[in-house]
Amino acid sequence: MKQFQLNRRGIFLIAICLLLAAAVSVATAQDKTEPEAVSSADLENVARAYTQIQTIHSQLQQSAQDVEDPAEQKRLHDRANQEMIMALKELNLDVETYTGIMAQIRIDEDLRAAFMKKINGM
């Protein structure tokens, strides 16, 4: 597997993008009076996607120190984003669904416990 390299600025940009997506999802989830129920299959897919996304992110962090070229940083950032999106698609998820369920996990203790149980079982 080819290693990705990103400097701290690139990692910061990835983190900001993910945080913004999560913030929008949290705001959307809080606007609804009653959140949609999350099926066991969806929760399983989100847990699998979460672990894959964490792996992609870890690979970027491990190799990020060596890249100084902004064009290369952008290319790596774009590729990592595409890999994350593909990981979601392989699990029949899209970014909106994934971030929406993750927002529900953050605010629903029972759902969070079920999610952690699935993560720990992987």
Rounded distance between C-alpha atoms, residue 106 and residue 4, angstroms: 29
Rounded distance between C-alpha atoms, residue 66 and residue 85, angstroms: 25
Q: Is the dihedral of CA 70, 76, 80, 85 positive or negative?
A: positive
Rounded distance between C-alpha atoms, residue 20 and residue 71, angstroms: 23
Residue 57 lies in a domain: yes
Range of the domain at 89: 8-120
Task: Read off the DSSP letter of residue 38.
Answer: P
Note if the pTM is more than 0.75: no
pLDDT digits (tens, 9 = 90+) for 2-47: 444 445 555 555 655 565 566 555 555 555 556 688 999 999 999 9
Residue 3 lies in a domain: no
Residue 64 lies in a domain: yes
Number of domains within the chain: 1
pLDDT digits (tens, 9 = 90+) for 70-97: 788 778 878 888 999 999 999 999 999 9
Residue 14 CB coordination number (10 Å)? 21
* Paired tokens of 2: 């080819």
Q: Which residues does 23 contact at the CB level (< 8 Å), separation at least 6?
A: none
